[in-house]
Every structure is written in structure tokens, then in C-alpha cells.
Chain A
Amino acid sequence: MSELTATPAAHGHDRKHTISILVENKFGAFNRIAGLFAAKGYNIDSLTVGPTEDDEISRMTIVTRGDDSVIEQIMKQLNKVINTVKVTDLTYESFVERDLALIKVQTKTDTRSEIMQIAEIFRAKIIDISPRTVTVEAIGSEQKVDAIIKMLKPFGIKELARTGRVALKREFQGEVN
């Protein structure tokens, strides 16, 4: 877990879970799901939502944590929401995931090249530059994005925007990159 997101420390047998939810594009559907997490006091590490191949349906990806019984309740409660079409806990399957971060880093003339080197190692792009800042676009697994943020932190991060995890079940069982 990155130290940049505010989540209470994991305790006991808590484990991180990535839950993928297909939800009807209907009035209030998003609020129903977000509200459920608030009302029942479940953690949210990240939550993303966006369109899918079906224009009546959106996909939400929620990263949450809890012990087995909490996760079981979360799954059941999500299934109970009238607008959810399918709820999958990807944690028990192999899945592909991506997180995107835009990181605005402070620069001085003598640090700029070092920052650019770090970006290159992570295959991140520089998408904006000014006398005092560079903005890095990093895409990858949550872990990879956590890592580049950690590397850039000593230079001074002015602003950070992160999408949170999006994920899909993996079909090919080998490594594709």
C-alpha cells in the first residue's frame, strides 16, 4: 500500500481485494454502490468507474480490504444492489491491472536529468515541462506506480493525480507485456 493514500492500517487477516462490478447505467447506481461502502464502513483503497463495450453497462473496479468474512459480506451486499449485473472478486483469479499516475515533480537544473532517468527506467513519459517542474505520466501495475512515486518523492512532489486500479480477468495464462 502506498503511503500516499489514507487507509487505516491493515489488521489481522485483512487482505487486499480487487472487485470488478458490472453495473447498469441508471440514475443513482453509482451512489448506491459508493453509499454502501460508506454505510457499512467498508474500506475503499481506490474506486474507478468507466464505460464498457456495452453502452448500458459501466464497470467499477474497487480495491478494498478486509478479512474473509468482511469480503464475503461485501460481495453479497454488492450483489444485492438492484443495479449490479455481475460482481467478481478478481483476487482469486489471475487478472491484468493498470493504474495511471500524473506526477508533477519539482526540478532544479541539477535534478532534472536524474528525474528523467528515473522516468525512463519505469517507462514513464514526460508530458509537461516548465522551468521548475516536470510532469511524469506513469502507467503500470499499482505496485509499479507506487515504486516510481517513491523514487520521485525525494525531489518534491508538487501534485499527484492517480486513477486507481482498473482490472480485467486474464484470459491468456502466460506472460504478455
Chain B
Amino acid sequence: MTSQKDGNLNPHNRLMTGAEIFVRSLIEEGVDIVFGYPGGAVIGIYDALHDISDIKHILTRHEQGAVHAAEGYSKASGKPGVALVTSGPGATNTVTGIADAYMDSIPIVVFTGQVALKLIGNDAFQEADIVGITRPITKHNYLVRDVNELAPTIKEAFYVATTGRPGPVLVDLPKDVMASKAHFDYPKKVVMRSYNPHIQGHTKQIVKAAELINKAKRPVLYVGGGTILSNAAEELKALARKARIPVTTTLHGLGSFPENDELAMGMLGMHGTWYSNTAVNYCDLLIAVGARFDDRVTGNVDAFAAEAKKIHIDIDPSAISKNVKVDVPIVGDVKHVLRDLLPLVQTLDTKDWLQTIKQWKEEHPLRYRNGKHIRMQYVIQRIGEITNGNAVIVSDVGQHQMWAAQFFKYIHPRTHITSGGLGTMGFSLPAAMGASFARKDIPVISLSGDGGIQMNIQEFATCVEYKIPIKIFIMNNGYLGMVRQWQELFWRRRYSQVKMSSPDFVKLAEAYGCAGFRAVQKDEVNDVLAKAFAINDGPVVVEFKVVKEDNVYPMIPAGMTWKELMDVPDEELKSVKGETPEVEEIMTLAKG
């Protein structure tokens, strides 16, 4: 299994250092990949890792990259992601990634080095109170104060991170604790008197929910990230198809229901489809499944599905009735609850309702006008057609992120990964790296804007060093596009600090030692995509020079209601600046 320096093959018979116990514990947890960055406080741990072949360590180029990579790995695999960093600046560099994982309920365990116990509080070299700093952004965190507590703490950390509503857990490891010795005995079970997540839904509530469903005329399933975290895509499909209920998903729910199914309506919310938002507005029953009524989804909460009865399935009691009062709350795991619910629901007569929605899809599809310049919508639509939905799309934050949600038809769970709750620019590249280690079978595509890519661009080097075969697509519109869009629409077009220059991304890719291509005109898109998809033994960078001032529609402005929904303006469908009308065509896409 591992090579032992002292030749003693039974690890249980001898004393081990904290560092060795740490490594053993990870192996016991089934961890086979760690993203990290060494330093003085963890040098002993890195020494213990050095001989271990069961765990692959990926040296990122920044600790933020390590945490996003752990998130991406977790999102793509369903397993917990692990990051390891040093004390002080190493630890503080993880903060954004931890906050990101907290907002999006991603199970990761972050191990930070710490100065020796007796130095804590002394402003010692590279000391930071990372447990204090991350307290509000972790599900839980620990400072290990005794080497005998190390293995049980690691066991508990993984348990807490992955059960209930998942989330990040941080374990702070003082240097002296990791150097002192103890017998290694990895606990088989976790016993916590203070933590006991509900898995099974309450039978009475499930019966009540079934009664509401069986009476509904215009039901809508509103499905969120909890369904994917619960691995409940099959159960969801079974329920929707049996009861004939149309499905809309949140940004994090994308992939939980196949978007080529006639019941699919795509994403709802601020940049959701016209028909999903309209259906939610007119529905008489809204069934929220592992979704948390985020304000990007509800807009003005008082007007959100105002006429509808509401059922809410969520494993976290505090998510229920937080933003919107519901009629039937069910606390439990989506998979368990849907299984219990399925036999109780009937096949509903929703023919008219589905017919109405079908008509809305025909009348109000997602649209854009394609000309000789490249529009991001087109690139994303082409990626969808080429891969047939068999790819992992890891988007960054901004306009391209919304178009990635709209113009790709997600078929499988865990094929759409993005930063939704915190909206962290710089997420995509490192998260795609992590995802790539979980999915060797299908292409993993990092999709960033010209702004976001420059926030973690150092990870080009990691991709090259480990030959990580991801496609790094950069949508270069020369702007912080999403902010520019808001300035155009709501701040009288006063473009303040949103225009930005970029390096020559192709040359940059080459400088890092990786293939780079560029498409400037629409007719070059297919060619560069073909070239990019032909490279499978390492990373490839493609820059798309896209239309500069493009806007994401539909849009429900923040805090507004369905009534204020703005669809693609007619004048935009007629002409785009600088285009030759003869070559233009209107492209459409409807989910379902």
C-alpha cells in the first residue's frame, strides 16, 4: 500500500507522528486526490505525503485555486474535495473558496497549517486566526489541540462536510501537534450528540404533499442544487413523468432533469426562460425540491408564485420559510422524500397546462441574431450540439455564465458547475481542473470571461504541468460584461470602470506551454472548436472575440416581478451594430 521508512508494516503497532496520522486518515477516508500548496507550518505533513502513492497531490499556483479545484472535484464526483495549505497567508488565501463552498453547499475539507500551540495568539510568524476568520463561512471548523484527537477530528470533519446540508469544514493543524506522536486508530463511526441530520421526511407531511399534488391543475416542479447533492435525478424524473408535471430548475439545479424532455422548461429566475418564469407565475402548485428561494430566483418575494400553494422539500430546516412562507414543508433528503412520495401521487390531467407551456415555448424561445461577428450564445449552442450534452460545463461569473445556463441543454446531473451563491469570478479555471480529475470520460470545459479568467490565470501552469485535458474557453468581449449591462440598462449607460484590456491570450497560452487558438469571426468558430476538441492530452486555450455590447435576456431586474420581465428587444432582433443584414439570421433555442 505505502512504503514505510522504518520497515514496520503494521501501522497500528507503532507510534506515528501527527503528520503520518493525517495521511493515514485521508487514506482511510478514501481520499485519492489533494489540492494544495506547502509552507513552513505544513512541511512535516508534506514530508509524510512524499512517500504515499495512494494520494495524488496537485500543486496549484495559488491557494484559492486549490480550494476551487477541490470544489470542482466534489461537484463533478459527488465525493468530498480536499485542500491542504500552510498557515497565515496560505490559510487566508483559502477564504474566498471556502465562502464559495459555503454558499453553494459543497462538501470540502480544508486543512490549514497553524503555528505551534504555545505560540497561538502571539502574532507569531505566519500566524492567522483562520478558525476565527472562517467561523461564519464554514459549516463547522476545528483546531486540533492534541495529537490523540487528530484522527477522530478528521473522521468527524468528513462526516459533517458530507452529511445533512453539505458544506465546507476547516481543520487547523498546529505544527507541534503534527510532530507529536500517538497510536493510530481510525474510528469506525462518528458519534455526535449534537448533530443529527434528518434524512427521512415526515410521513404526515408527505401525505399532505401528495394530496396537494393530486388536486393540482397547473403544478410546477422548481428544482434546485439539493436534488443533485442528493443524487436524486432518477427519482425526480420518475415523479415528473408519472404525475406529468413540468420542471424548471435553478442555476444549480441544471442537469437534474434532462432538458431535452418535453416537461423541461430550463432555468427560472432573473435570467431564466420566459416560459419557466411565466409558468411559475400562473401555477397553482409550486413544488420546491432542494431549492432555497434565492432572490435571483424569486425577485420580489411577495409576487413570486403568489397564487400557488407551495411544498418545500429541503434537508435544512433553516432553509424552509426563510424567504417565502410555504404550505407543506418537508424536512428530509430529496432522494428519500421523492421515493416515499412517488407511490402516493397519481397521473395528473395536465394536458391543457402542458399544451399552454408548449405554445409559450414556441412563441418565446431564447433568441439572438447571428451575423458575421461571434456571439457567445452561438459558441455555447455549438458546444452543446457538438457534445450532445455529454460534457461538463464549468462556467465563471458574468454574462457568459448566464448564456451557458441558457444555450446548452443539460441532460445529466453534475455536468453543470458554477459559482452561484457567492458569484466568485475566477472560479471556473481551477474548478474545471478539479472536475477533470473526476471525469475522464467526457470533455470538461472551462468557460470564462476576459475578466474572470484573469483572476486565476496562474492556474494555466498547473494545467500544463499535470497535462490536465480541459478546454479553456475565454469569451472576450473587452468588458466586465455583466456590470456593463447593468450600467447600460440601469445607470444611463455611464460605463464606469468596466472596459478592460487583456493580454494576447493565445501567446500567453503558448508561453505557459499550451496550445492556443483564436476565433474572431463567426465562420471560424466551428474550426477552432474542432481543433480544441481534438486535443485530449493536455489543456487547450481558445479565445473567442465576441460582440462587445451584448445583453443577456430575458431579464427580470433585481427585486422586480414577472410582470417586469424584459425579453430580447425587437430592435435587437432587427439589427446588431456593425452587421451586414444579408448574412444575419435569427437563432432560437427552447428547452424541452
Contact = CB atoms under 8 A, between A and B. Distances in A.
Interface in A67-90: 69, 72-73, 76-77, 79-80, 82-85
Interface string B296-332: 0000000000000000000011101110000000000
B89 interface: no
Given A35-B136, A39-B136, A79-B317, A73 B322 contact: yes
Interface string A21-43: 00110011001100110010000
A76 B319 CA distance: 9
Nearest to A78: B318
B194 A83 contact: yes
Nearest to A80: B318
B139 A69 contact: no
A85 B193 contact: yes
Contacts of B142: 27
B194 A72 contact: no
B321 A72 contact: yes
Nearest to A79: B317
B135 A82 contact: no
A84 B318 CA distance: 15
A80 B142 CA distance: 16
B145 to A, nearest CB: 7
Interface residues of B, number: 21
The listed residue with most A CB atoms (<10 A of its CB), out of B132, B143, B317, is B317
Given A27-B145, A76-B317, A85-B193, A32 B135 contact: yes
A30 to B, nearest CB: 11
Given A28-B143, A82-B160, A85-B193, A77 B318 contact: yes
B458 to A, nearest CB: 32
Contacts of B145: 27
Given A72-B321, A73-B322, A82 B139 contact: yes
Nearest to B143: A27
Nearest to B194: A85
A31 B132 contact: yes
Contact of A28 (B131, B317, B318, B321): B131
A55 to B, nearest CB: 14
Nearest to A38: B136
A23 B193 CA distance: 10
A112 B61 CA distance: 73
Contacts of B160: 82
A27 B193 CA distance: 16
A14 B569 CA distance: 46
Contacts of B135: 28, 31-32, 35
B195 interface: yes
The listed residue with most A CB atoms (<10 A of its CB), out of B132, B145, B316, B318, is B318
Contacts of B316: 80
B446 interface: no
Contacts of A35: 135-136
B140 interface: yes
Contacts of B131: 27-28
Nearest to A77: B318
Contact of A24 (B132, B193, B320, B321): B193
A15 B553 CA distance: 44
A57 to B, nearest CB: 9
Interface string B161-184: 000000000000000000000000
Contact of A84 (B132, B194, B320): B194
B195 A82 contact: yes
Given A31-B132, A82-B195, 16 more contacts: A27-B142, A27-B143, A28-B131, A28-B132, A28-B135, A28-B143, A35-B136, A69-B321, A72-B321, A73-B318, A76-B317, A82-B160, A82-B192, A84-B194, A85-B193, A85-B194
Interface of B: 131-132, 135-136, 139-143, 145, 160, 192-195, 316-318, 320-322
Considering the complex of A and B, which 6 residue pairs feature the smallest CB-CB distances, nearest first? A76-B318, A82-B140, A85-B194, A39-B136, A76-B317, A82-B195
25 contacts: A23-B194, A24-B193, A24-B194, A27-B142, A27-B143, A27-B145, A28-B132, A28-B141, A31-B132, A35-B135, A35-B136, A39-B136, A69-B321, A73-B318, A76-B317, A76-B318, A77-B318, A79-B317, A80-B317, A82-B160, A82-B194, A82-B195, A83-B194, A85-B193, A85-B194
